[in-house]
Chain A
Amino acid sequence: MGKKVNFLGKTNKNSLKGLINFGIIIVFYAFITILKGAGGLTNALEGQLIPICAYIIMALSLNLVVGISGELSLGHAGFMSVGAFTGVIVAGAMKYNGVNANAPRLIVAIVVGAILAAIAGILIGIPVLRLRGDYLAIVTLAFGEIIKNVLNCLYVGIDNAGLHFSVTDEAHMDMAAGGTTLVRGPMGAVGVAKASSFIAGIILILIVLFVIQNLVNSRTGRAIMAIRDNRIAAEASGINVTKYKMIAFVTSAGIAGAAGALYALNYSTIVPKKFDFNTSILVLVFVVLGGIGNMTGSIIAAAVLTVLPELFRQFQDYRMLVYAIVLILVMIATNNEKIKALWKRFSAIFSKKGGNVNE
């Protein structure tokens, strides 16, 4: 009997938690809109709104891999990069063909960016998901570097005949007169026609939350978490390990691609170097600090840690140093058995059900 109540209570708590995430995002949007109306928003902060949305989505996406699937991806910026450059090319091509409205360009860019990033996720997932733990991390890292290097020598242009690609220089694209160059190698995409907006970012976060929470609370999600908790036991229960890992990984890659498209279409210039290993680590810091597997935590950590450096510009030099120390301390505090035991005892004193410590 007691077990049943517990079980019901837990499901209710899950759906409540999901609603809280939606609530936070909507309150955040309302708060920013009111602040904007009251003129309380500085220019610097206003410029950060879309990057905040993009980083929140990135954190949610990485949390799906790290927290739910239990694998470490160190190349998430690579997927973001695929989405970003695909988005820029698609939006640029649409503009060239006379589509000037922002909304359709952004939507198509995000969708195509997400699809291409998901395809990249499948391509990288096939070799990677056969590996475990550390190997997987290093291969995703390698993948991120490959993407960065390839984009560094990619030239894309458009003319009346369609898209032109080259991996050497602009002249090799053989474009007809009147064509525009969209991406020029290490210089990146220059003269991007911006299309992102804050409201679009918020809507995208809500969609991503909906997708992730439904995935996590479904049969598929439970299978993914079962593999995370005990691979061998899950396999013995008839769960297809590769398939479910792939679902989590590819979904996450697609979401990262969508975030990339949103991010890129907020700037007039975007370079491949922006999506390097540091960006992957930055997103990892959001996930770790927010709590691995905790989506609400990811949202808050991503938003706060994107805004804070803007507010404390004079401490810019110490920012990554502080992040590094925070990473180490959080990992030790949450994983050391002694500290864990201490923490349990500590919280037992303050909770009424002190007797349930060992549960």
Chain B
Amino acid sequence: MLNYLISGISLGSVYAIIALGYTMVYGIAKMLNFAHGDVIMVGGYAAFCASTYLGWPIPLCILFSMMICTILGIVIEKLAYKPLRNATSLAVLITAIGVSYFLQNIALLIWTSNPKAFPNMANFIPAISLGDTTISSTTIITIIASVIIMIGLTLFTGKTKMGKAMRAVSEDKGAAQLMGINVNATISITFAIGSGLAAIAGVLLCSAYPTLMPTTGSMPGIKAFTAAVLGGIGSIPGAMLGGILLGILEKFAQAYISTQLSDAIVFAALIVVLLVKPTGLLGKKITEKV
């Protein structure tokens, strides 16, 4: 029981980090960055290559992976999403799906579909044993990392000048621009932060589940988006709450109901929540003005 709860929180923390990336981009650019899950995969491969082929130390691998993903995030935004700034959400979403497929298939060509064994990069502190259950090092680091990231992001968006600019752009792009905020730069930075977080999530995810494939990111990506929607999209604590709830739900469903049906149960939970509270658990209801 406790075992499942802890592994659920651990998985949920990874979802939460990914969901934070989704929620920030959605809050500011008002678009569902479908390719976010595949940025995780690229982050995983970048860390894998740095450590296995180049033999770099772990912190350097993680930094390298974050750097690659940050650049990738900015490039994707500039090339694919920026030309569609004023297009319908349908057009942007289809483009994002295209980017997602592009990344997956590029990875397939470079690294083939054979799964790579990912070295555990998150085991530098000792495991803790509570009675008969042992909490692994990876689990502890994942949970701590997600909490630090959430607090950091909350402070960043709340206290810094850039954070203020982000909130302004998220509320009203036009008015923000009139106040002298560089909207394009703000959106680029949001993508950079979201993609950097995706790299961390990629390393943590692959450390816990050490098979790396071109499709590694897509399912966690979709579930993390589910988590972001569950918690209320655009809200940072909501992404955290949604992620952890979803992780726990998934682990419990696997343990007590059926391994095969666990994904179905997770998605069914999303549908139920949206039915009852269409803006998610912590989302604000926005009335539409004509």
Tell whether A and B belong to one assembly: yes
Chain A residue at minimum C-beta to C-beta distance from B219 = A145
Beyond A127-B271, A149-B263, A320-B101, 18 additional contacts (C-beta under 8 Å) are: A66-B90, A72-B90, A72-B93, A130-B275, A135-B274, A138-B270, A142-B270, A143-B267, A145-B264, A167-B258, A232-B288, A318-B105, A324-B100, A325-B102, A328-B95, A328-B99, A331-B94, A339-B83
Residue A101 at the B interface, CB < 8 A? no
Q: Which residues of B contact A49 (CB under 8 A)?
A: none
Distance of A153 Cα from B32 Cα, bound (Å): 31
Tell me what chain B mostly uses at the interface: helix, strand, loop, or mixed: helix
Contact status A131-B274, CB under 8 Å: yes
Contact at B93–A335, with CB atoms within 8 Å? Answer: no
Interface residues of A (CB under 8 A from B): 66, 70-72, 74, 124, 126-128, 130-131, 133-135, 137-139, 141-143, 145-146, 149-150, 152-153, 167, 232, 277, 281, 284, 288, 292, 317-318, 320-321, 323-328, 331-332, 334-339
Closest 8 CB pairs of A and B: A327-B98, A142-B267, A324-B101, A335-B87, A324-B102, A149-B264, A321-B105, A328-B98
Q: Does B290 contact A (CB under 8 A)?
A: yes
Q: Is the interface of A mostly helix, strand, loop or mixed?
A: helix
> When chains A and B are docked, how far (Å) is the Cα of A142 from the Cα of B226?
9
Residues of B within 8 A of A133 (CB): 89-90, 93
B5 within 8 A of A: no
Q: Are A139 and B290 in contact (CB under 8 A)?
A: no
Q: How far is the CB of B73 from chain A (nearest CB, A)?
A: 16
The one of A138, A152, A153 in contact with B226, judged by C-beta atoms closer than 8 angstroms, is: A138
Do A137 and B271 touch (CB < 8 A)? no
State in angstroms the CA–CA spacing of A299 and B254 once bound together.
42
Interface centre among A74, A326, A335 (most CB of B within 10 A): A335
Q: Are A70 and B90 touching (Cβ within 8 A)? A: yes
In the complex, the chain A residue whose C-beta lies closest to that of B100 is: A324
The answer to whether B101 touches A327 (Cβ under 8 A) is: yes
Nearest CB in chain B: distance from A147 CB, A: 8
Taking the complex as formed, is B175 at the interface, i.e. its CB lies under 8 A from any CB of chain A?
no
Residues of chain B touching chain A, judged by Cβ–Cβ distance below 8 Å, are 26, 31-32, 80, 83-84, 86-95, 97-102, 104-106, 108-109, 218, 222, 225-226, 229, 258, 260-261, 263-264, 267-268, 270-271, 274-275, 278, 288, 290
* Cα distance A234–B254 in the bound complex, in angstroms: 45
* Residues in chain B near residue A331, CB distance under 8 A: 84, 87, 91-92, 94-95, 98
| Cβ-closest chain B residue relative to A323 | B101
Q: Which residues of B contact A146 (CB under 8 A)?
A: 263-264, 267-268
